[in-house]
Amino acid sequence: MIKGKFGFSLDALEGLFKTKTPPLIGADISSSAVKMVEISESGRGMYRVERYAIEPLPKDSVVEGNINNLDAVSDALKRCHKRLGSGIKNLALALPSAAVISKKILVPAGQTEDDLGLQVETEANQYIPFSLDEVNLDWQVLGPAPNSPEDIEVLIAASRKEKIEDRVAAAEVAGLKAVVMDVDLFASQSAFELIEDQFPEKGKDQNIAIVDVGASVTAINILRNDQSVYTREQAFGGNQLTQEIQNRFGLSLEEAEAAKRAGGLPENYESEVLHPFLDMMGLEIARALQFFFTSTQHNQVHHVVLSGGSAAIPGADEAVGKRVQVNTIIGNPFANMALSSRIRPRNLTQDAPSLMVACGLAMRRFD
């Protein structure tokens, strides 16, 4: 079972694979903001949200998952950590899934870990279009192979070293330390495990689509029994709504972004701008699900979980549910957690869908 527990082996990080992960903060560097979450244990398998913070990034600091402006990202990490108010400086960060090559392979069962590692490296050579010297490679045993009892299924993942080093460097310049490097897709899946209790039989044998509507990209990850069976990205996101607000009401980018969050726009905003945007969101997701049906043996999705900043727009779940004709909920991985006194519950509920990756990263503390 993929639990999102990858940790790329980094020369810059000592003790990455220690059996107990040190206290850490989940830090999601998206294209629009840095988001940090700190979670602690509150006894009897329960968790508590200690603090969280969101710090906007200047435009084009991160494009398609690549850090374009290291100074701007480092500054945002520093400001976000200061706003967080935590003494913990260890971070769990994530790579964008587009920067990671992943592949499931079958290998004979019963090997030692050293032998398995050597075989994984040999197999990885076939699938990775770079020299292994240029990549960080990680692997995880998923379990017995479904149709081959003498084999096990292993997931291998590799990323170019510079993709990882950029994020490590941004943290270091901010006075912080990366101790875990995950993949955003797997981190989101870890957060989803905190939500799946809401579904009948905890979603067993059901296809559940996690749909992250970010600033510029909508990422779809369809899970079945906690394993990803389909992923897709489409060029659609909240920036389109911001631009429409800008154009329609003659605002600057910053003013449009603030108005989108705080309200106060003219009466015709909802009918002429917001509702068409939400309808387009539903159409984009319906289109993605159609691709899933035509390219796999599946012909049904049982639930949709909306995440990302645009999922927090009031009415997003109803608009998408109506368009795709599937039960649609807003992802809130904190729903069953205790909250520290410094957390405002209403604010957290509003921000929760945009904190899915950061939450999944924060949960790495308990591996």
The model's pLDDT over 35-58, given as tens digits with 9 standing for 90+, comes to 999 999 988 889 999 999 999 999
In a domain, 116, yes or no: no
- Nearest CA to 93 among 178, 20, 185, 36? 178
pLDDT for position 18: 38
Mark whether 302 and 270 lie in a shared domain: yes
In a domain, 133, yes or no: no
pLDDT for position 134: 84
Mark whether 182 and 271 lie in a shared domain: no
CA–CA distances in Å: residue 318 to residues 29, 166, 178, 321, 349? 29, 39, 39, 5, 17
In a domain, 132, yes or no: no
Instruction: Give the chain's domain count.
Output: 2
Condensed to tens digits (0 to 9), the pLDDT of residues 297-316 reads 999 999 999 999 999 998 99
Mark whether 30 and 179 lie in a shared domain: yes
The answer to whether 169 and 11 have CB atoms below 8 angstroms apart is no
Mark whether 281 and 361 lie in a shared domain: no
pLDDT for position 303: 97
- How many CB atoms are closer than 10 A to CB 301? 23
Mark whether 72 and 215 lie in a shared domain: no
Mark whether 183 and 273 lie in a shared domain: no
Mark whether 36 and 67 lie in a shared domain: yes
- DSSP, collapsed to helix, strand or coil, labels residue 341 as coil
Mark whether 185 and 202 lie in a shared domain: no
pLDDT for position 19: 41
pLDDT for position 20: 54
- Nearest CA to 136 among 271, 10, 286? 10
By residue range, what is the domain housing residue 63?
25-100+164-189+354-366
The answer to whether 52 and 343 have CB atoms below 8 angstroms apart is yes
In a domain, 309, yes or no: yes
Question: The domain spanning residue 273 has which CATH number?
Answer: 3.30.420.40
Burial 259-298 (b: 16+ CB within 10 A, else e): bbeeeebeeebeeebbeebbeebbebbebbbeebeeeeee
CA–CA distances in Å: residue 70 to residues 74, 134, 163, 261, 367? 6, 21, 12, 27, 30
Q: List beta partners, residue 236.
A: none
In a domain, 128, yes or no: no
pLDDT for position 13: 36
Alpha-carbon distance of 262 to 91, in angstroms, equals: 30
Would the pTM count as exceeding 0.85?
A: yes
Mark whether 173 and 50 lie in a shared domain: yes
pLDDT for position 45: 80
Q: Which two tokens stand for residue 282?
A: 């539903």
For the chain, the average pLDDT equals 89
In a domain, 340, yes or no: no
Mark whether 224 and 298 lie in a shared domain: yes
In a domain, 312, yes or no: yes
pLDDT for position 16: 36
Mark whether 62 and 207 lie in a shared domain: no
Q: Which residues of the chain have pLDDT under 70?
A: 1-21
Mark whether 210 and 178 lie in a shared domain: no
In a domain, 130, yes or no: no
